[in-house]
Structure 1
Amino acid sequence: MASPLTTWPWDNLGLFKYLLYGPLVAKVVHEMFYVEDSNLNSLWCFHLLILTGLRGFLHVLWNSYSNMLFLTRNRRILQHGVDFKQIDQEWDWDNFLILQTIVASMAYYMFPFLQNFPLWNVKGLLVVLLLHVGVSEPLYYWVHKKFHGHYLFTNYHSLHHSSKVPQSLTVGNAAVLEHLILTVIIGIPIIGATVIGYGSASLIYGYVLVFDFLRCLGHCNVETIPHKLFETFPFMRYVLYTPTYHSLHHTNKDCNFCLFMPLFDKIGNTLNKESWQLHKTFSSGNGSRVPDFVFLAHIVDVTSSMHAQFCLRSFASLPFRTRLFLIPFWPIALLSLFAMWVWSKTFLVSFYYLRSRLHQTWVVPRCGFQYFLPFATDGINKQIEKAILRADKIGVKVISLAALNKNESLNGGGKLFVDKHPNLRVRVVHGNTLTAAVILDEIPKNVEEVFLTGATSKLGRAIALYLCRKRVKVLMLTLSADRFQRIQKEAPQEYQSFLVQVTKYQAAQNCKTWIVGKWITAREQNWAPRGTHFHQFVVPPILPFRRDCTYGDLAAMRLPQDVQGLGSCEYTMERGVVHACHAGGVVHSLEGWTHHEVGAIDVDRIDVVWKAALKHGLRPVSSGSNMETN
């Protein structure tokens, strides 16, 4: 049985918990439209709603900043990413705002002096400061130490410490009892100043928002306070804590208990002696680790650009789909993309650990449609080249290119960059070898004939050559006899007859296995017989027009169970699933291969890469058991 005041009364309400604000909204509407002598200063519930909104927005902004790795990577304290478990655990992080709003609305009726207060009173600032330093700070320090006792920690405070990577939203991840006590600690200076006649609206707004700001600062996991401040003014070390200072408390629970002022840890002999030296290290930008592997992704469209952890962490942790709440933010996202194009820098969006190797994702700030504009080719290649050279400079071992970043017509599957910079230490990988392996694995072993569109592309060529060696007849749809013949000649003499050129979709009207590498319309799909399965490696995926047929997903693999710090979904993929080309780069890094994987796919390496992927715990999302597994 759970201890009292550990769970929230509205835990089972889901989104309906926000209806708890309904009475306050009704009170505001009534007073504004039906009470003649009401004014802005007397609308206590109105101020509560505004203040709650500002507080929530403040926490979200801090969370966004913490996850902007392109700005904060060198000053991150804990290098781990925020994983799905922590995100789910902190999903209802704003419960404390509901609680404190309810308590404050009750205080309106309990304390008559709150029913009318001035907009501004300078004397109140001094009183609040004195009460905070003299009462709230030592009270919090004492209570916090008590919560680290065995019973209180086990039953209450351990929930807060279960978040491995502190972030601003971690502030709300605590038991109800803790938030009730914190509400009292926040309320003491405000009520104290108001009781002696120095209260004001600006005092309440200012104190609460500064209080939240400093809590977010401590939990942000990014060192934002320059060490020169403490070197110039040594006394400031005991007046203002730092993110490094507070992170030490999360990793070492027997030190640094203060609210905002390390002075009380100094007095109580609980100050971690490494606090200042570590603070200097992180604030100087010397605490970051260089990733072994980088995946260079790209934006699909403006809406999908908001599917990043630094926008909405909870939204990024779910497979992407367009939602109504995104529409108002579309202009902001578009302006941000324009700014990134002007800035012209590749930026980081997420990272995680895979078997103790830091794995990061960088994004080229270009929308999908731009890759098909001829005049945009040079600009896109320039940004990809900058990313590769930057990875090479900082010591990255492998950089893998996402779908459009390795387009054959754009840069020959990455070959352009390898030829231009022959002395690259970083290995450039397109990952298509594993993509081909995943597609081939989906094809059942007993298949005797397949129909292949996009047959002369990198993937189409490799799939055709692999299947013909398995004595599978491949109907290759292409109008170019020369390109077909070049591919056919690559096959061993005894297997060349299994490759057949066709020029019309009608040729596949009796074939139930279609491998689609080129977008096809409903009319073209109608040539497939009933019961056909459409395997595909075309971007974007084809639309499922036929109800009497089945459609495969894009080639993807599920990451191994020991992945740590993964907290965002890759576009529309499920949690823990990545596109096969992404997984191909991961395998390249884990195996420590020293060759570049660019240009045409080496068919002889398809089985090698596949076995390596399975060895490291990666698994195909769907499988037809056509590939060798031993």
Structure 2
Amino acid sequence: MPFYDYIYGTMDKSSDSLYESSLQRPDYIPDAIYLTHPTTLQSIYHLRIGFASLASKPFTSKWYTWLMWPVTLWSMIVAWIYGRTFVAERNVFKEVKLQSWVYRLQWQQEALNKLIEEAILEADEKGIKVGEELNRNGEIYVGKHPKLKVKLVDGSSLAVAVVLNSIPKGTSQLLFRGRPCKVALSIVSELCRKGIQVFTIRKDEYEKLKNALTAQDAKNLVFSEKGCNQKNWLPRRVMSAWRIAGIVHALEGWNVNECGDELFDVDKVWDAALRHGFQPQLTSA
């Protein structure tokens, strides 16, 4: 309300009711949500609701964030007590309304699974179509709540498509590093099927991958004890394939779950992502 109108008694009587009515609007129901979590306590400052200067750059630990440790500790305690997801950002892409929901750090697996389950049920109650990036590929929640209307998308198919389509033509050998999850198994299986030799440097990874391959494809899987250096970070203005997959599912209106051990059509989701303007990040060798 105008300050001086209030002081001198010249305020219109309808000002309060007009202000209150202007705040009333239909609930903002997104078409897709991206469920994620901070990686470290300091990483909360890299969210959009944190510091814009930090959020505009790849995550690195800064000395001055340690000076804010009391605030960091307080936020952790609040999150621990209330244990709820919160909306970190809202976006609109074409006709699809998007939200990013953030939950606390993954320390206690059982408590986190419960928190994710509550977020899924809340999304389903609100009529949200697609939920992305879920622990254990979301299969446990689909089995526990078979009548869910919200579709869970872990984005594995697009992640596989991005990797396969980013490998230069003519490549004959690749080094695999990482936990043999659904995405890794699908990538290694397809590479071996194409005749590309895939090397692993850990015996346990080699055994798990070999057991998941056919006898013919396993011939292209090679165990090597030579190590390598690696780095893994996501630059700004780049979105993960897991997040994009949920957006693509919403844009295309695919009324299917992509979770558990199931993998969506890799070529189909890749073509759809390109058609909607998403492009793989090109990196120099």
Deviation for aligned residue 1:317: 4.0
Code of the aligned partner of 1:505: E
| Pairing 1:574–2:226 present | no
Shift of 1:621: 1.1
Q: In the TM superposition, what whole-angstrom CA distance separates every residue of 1:267-319 from its partner, at most 9, and x where no partner exists?
A: xxxxxxxx82x842634xx4332000000010111111122233334543444
Q: Which runs of 5+ in 2 are unaligned?
A: none
For 2:100, which of 338, 361, 373 is the aligned residue? 361
Return the alpha-carbon distance in structure 2 between the equivalents of residues 461 and 505 of structure 1. 20
Q: Percent identity?
A: 29
The residue aligned with 2:245 is 584
Q: Secondary structure of 1:525's partner?
A: coil
Q: 1:454 aligns with which of 146, 171, 178?
A: 178
Q: Which residue in the other structure is 2:139 paired with?
A: 415
SS in 1 for 2:152: strand
- The alignment status of 1:496 with 2:217, answered yes or no, reads yes
Name the CA distance, whole Å, in 1 between partners of 2:5 and 2:251: 56
What is the letter of the counterpart of residue 275 of structure 2?
A: K
CA distance in 2, matches of 1:395, 1:311: 29
**What displacement does 1:581 show?**
1.0
Q: Which residue of 179, 197, 203 maps to 1:473?
A: 197
Aligned to 1:264: none
* Correspondence for 2:23: 282
1:382 aligns with 2:110: no
Give the equivalent residue in structure 2 for 1:291: 30
Task: Report what 2:55 is aligned to.
Answer: 316
How does the TM-score come out when normalised to structure 2? 0.86
Could you report, residue by residue, the CA deviation over 1:517-560 in whole angstroms, capped at 9, with x for unpaired residues?
xxxxxxx327xxxxxxxxxxxxxxx44xxxxxxxxx55xxxxxx
Separation in 2 of the partners of 1:442 and 1:425?
A: 34
* Alignment partners' CA distance in 2, 1:479 and 1:130: 74
1:107-131 deviation per Cα after TM superposition (whole angstroms, max 9, x unaligned):
xxxxxxxxxxxxxxxxxxxxxx879
| 8 Å CA contact 1:295, 1:399 repeated in 2 | yes
Letter matched to residue 316 of structure 1: A
| C-alpha contact 1:292 1:589 (8 A) present in aligned 2 | yes
Match of 2:228 among 525, 538, 544: 525
The Cα of 1:468 is off from its aligned counterpart by 2.1
Unaligned runs of 5+ in 1: 1-128, 139-233, 241-274, 371-375, 507-523, 527-541, 544-552, 555-571, 625-630
Q: Tell me the residue number matched to 2:72.
A: 333
Is it true that 1:352 corresponds to 2:85 in the alignment?
A: no
- Cα deviation, residue 341, structure 1: 1.7
Which residue is equivalent to 1:396?
128
1:617 positional shift: 0.4
Tell me the number of residue pairs that the alignment of Structure 1 and Structure 2 aligns. Answer: 281
Greater mean alpha carbon deviation, residues 353-362 or residues 302-311? 302-311
5 Å-filtered alignment, 1:520-559, equals: 524-525=227-228, 542-543=230-231
> In structure 1, what is the Cα distance between the partners aligned to 2:53 and 2:14?
35
Q: Could you say which residue in structure 1 is the equivalent of 2:212?
A: 487
Preserved contact between residue 471 and residue 498 of structure 1 (Cα < 8 Å): no
Secondary structure of the 1:578 match is coil
TM-score (normalised: structure 1): 0.41
Equivalent residue number for residue 273 of structure 2: 613
Q: Deviations over 1:140-183 (max 9, x none)?
A: xxxxxxxxxxxxxxxxxxxxxxxxxxxxxxxxxxxxxxxxxxxx
Q: CA deviation at 1:474?
A: 2.2
Structure with the bigger percentage of helix: 1
Identify which of structures 1 and 2 has the higher relative contact order when contacts are C-alpha pairs closer than 8 Å and 6+ apart: 2
Contact kept in structure 2, 1:462 and 1:601, CA below 8 Å: no
1:435 lines up with 2:159 in the alignment? yes
What secondary structure does 2:112 align onto?
A: helix
C-alpha separation in 1, matches of 2:277 and 2:85: 30
Offset at residue 610 of structure 1 (A)? 1.0
Deviation string 1:35-87 (CA, Å, 9 cap, x unpaired) is xxxxxxxxxxxxxxxxxxxxxxxxxxxxxxxxxxxxxxxxxxxxxxxxxxxxx
- Residue 473 of structure 1 and its aligned partner are, at CA, apart by 2.1
CA contact (8 A) 1:307 1:316 kept: yes
Matched residues in 1 for 2:210 and 2:62: separation? 47
Aligned-pair CA distance for 1:480: 6.7
Looking at structure 2, the residues matched to 304 and 291 of structure 1 have their Cα atoms a distance apart, in angstroms, of: 25
Q: Distance in 1 between matches of 2:20 and 2:6?
A: 25
**Range that drifts further, 318-327 or 440-449:** 318-327
Residues 1:623 and 1:438: Cα distance change in structure 2 (over 3 Å) = farther
Contact 1:455 1:478 (8 Å CA) reproduced: no
1:48 aligned partner: none
Given that 2:179 and 2:205 are in contact with CA atoms closer than 8 Å, whether structure 1 keeps it comes out as no
